Structure 1
Amino acid sequence: MLEDIFEFILKYVIGFIFSVIRYLVIDIIIECIIEGVINGIRSLRDKIRDKWRNWRERRYWR
């Protein structure tokens, strides 16, 4: 009887808590990776745009 209660707690309560924590951690990691990639692409785009503007301005003034 007591073993059944412990088995139920381990299987459903602690298992559920671990699955929720695992889901949240994986979700947060994936979100951070995607956010980092998007920010990296934005900063790279801004650098390329600034270099292009500087190159065009120098070309017109010569």
Structure 2
Amino acid sequence: MRFNMRHAFRMAKWARNPPGEKRVKLVFAVLAICLLLFGFERMFGWPEWLTMDEAPGGRLKR
């Protein structure tokens, strides 16, 4: 992985001025929802009715 100076500047900015409590809670809530969805999909599999059908030629049916 390549080091990007933009990320270093952003990390330094966040270290000087950290995000507020509401934003931290929002990020953790979104992360928790994503992990729950991932765990549910791994335990029970992906439902067939949520899978898109492909037409011949690689295009999706409408």
TM-score by length of 2: 0.42
More relative contact order, 1 or 2 (CA 8 Å, 6+ apart): 2
Structure richer in helix, relative to its length: 1
* Structure showing greater Rg: 1
TM-score by length of 1: 0.42
